[in-house]
Amino acid sequence: ILLISVYGEEGTERKVVVNPRGMLSYLFVESISASGKTIFELRESLHEQLRKYYRFVTLSITPIKFNAEYYTILGEVKDPGKKPIVGDPTLLSAISQAKGFTTMDFRDQVVDLCDLEKAFLARNGEYIPIDFVRLIRHGDLNQDIPLRSGDYIYIPNVTMKQVYVVGEVFYPVTIDYMTDMSLVEAITEAGDVTERAGSRVAVLRGSLSCPVHYLIDFNRIVKGCASDFKLQPGDIVYVPPRSFTSLREILQEAARVFVHRTADSTGEEAFIQAHPHTRNDRRRRAK
């Protein structure tokens, strides 16, 4: 953050934020690069632009804060990316700074492309339960929590009709939904369950923060003792390990694994930058 003013001109003092792309705006200068420049070089660049508006230009530029803290917002927002933490940002202000949700024209109406049910906030690599539907659609400010450095926000696309298969399968996958897709078909697409898998499979449907859940005995389906389970677009299929016995443990882990899988497939490098320890975790697992 820079404090900039034109000497002798009242009302010209501004606190100016250099955005993540290294650009800033000041008075009549809508966009100028500050990236890689010294204060002297930046002063010269601004001086050239402001000479069009002031007869005599003597600029004062003083750095008052160096932003080393960022959060990341990706997905269906108009200006995704890493954002510096300035002041006390919240989820709503982050969405606003990202210029809102992307939209499309549908039957003479403008509709948002965001899937609020599957939107999530991750902090320190862990899922933070936030109800984005209540926050955005119902104005529940209890969901508008303050952001911290390293937070990762992801807003999926609502038009993507997909099924997510995670957990103890050989190849965790995101599958394009097909009419009458079944649980067996989805798990087959993921290469089948591993030897560590338990007999039950969890299916989470609807809001990630408060899903409708189904706990299904997959072994009985495979043996022909029970009917296959029909999936719906947006379902999360989670195959827990045998060591997981409580429903609460299974549902919490399902949400956590889904968040990690989605972050990996939609913005791996941004997620790792926001949570550097996850890179080390992966290296340890690889060894």
CATH number at residue 35: 3.30.1950.10
Contact present, 1 and 17 (Cβ < 8 Å):
yes
Residue for token pair 């009985």: 220
Same domain, 94 and 13: no
Tokens of 225: 């003792």
Looking at 41, 63, 85, which one is the last position of a domain?
63
3: β partners = 15, 62
CATH number of the domain encompassing residue 209: 3.10.560.10
Same domain, 79 and 18: no
| 119 pLDDT higher than 70 | yes
Burial 12-26 (b: 16+ CB within 10 A, else e): beeebbbbeeeebeb
Same domain, 47 and 80: no
Put simply, whether the predicted model's pTM sits higher than 0.75 gets the answer no
Same domain, 248 and 279: yes
Same domain, 172 and 233: yes
Q: Which pLDDT tens digit goes with each residue over 24-35?
A: 888 888 888 887
Same domain, 93 and 139: yes
Looking at 63, 85, 111, which one is the last position of a domain?
63
Looking at 155, 176, 194, which one is the last position of a domain?
155
Same domain, 174 and 216: yes
Same domain, 177 and 225: yes
Please report which confidence band the pLDDT of residue 287 belongs to, taking 50, 70 and 90 as the band edges. Answer: very low
What is the pLDDT at residue 68? 64
Minimal CA–CA distance to 167: which of 186, 181, 139? 186
Please report which confidence band the pLDDT of residue 267 belongs to, taking 50, 70 and 90 as the band edges. Answer: low
| 183 pLDDT higher than 50 | yes
Same domain, 216 and 141: no
d(CA 156, CA 135): 16
d(CA 227, CA 220): 8
Same domain, 282 and 190: yes
Q: Which pLDDT tens digit goes with each residue over 81-113?
A: 888 888 889 999 999 999 999 998 878 888 888
Minimal CA–CA distance to 154: which of 95, 241, 219? 95
Our count of domains for the chain comes to 3
Domain of 6, in residue numbers:
2-63
71: β partners = 83
| 193 pLDDT higher than 90 | yes
- List Cβ neighbours of 262 (8 Å cut-off, separation of 6 or more): 118, 120, 154, 156, 164
d(CA 220, CA 200): 9
Same domain, 202 and 280: yes
Helix (H, G, I), strand (E, B) or coil at 145: coil
Same domain, 218 and 108: no
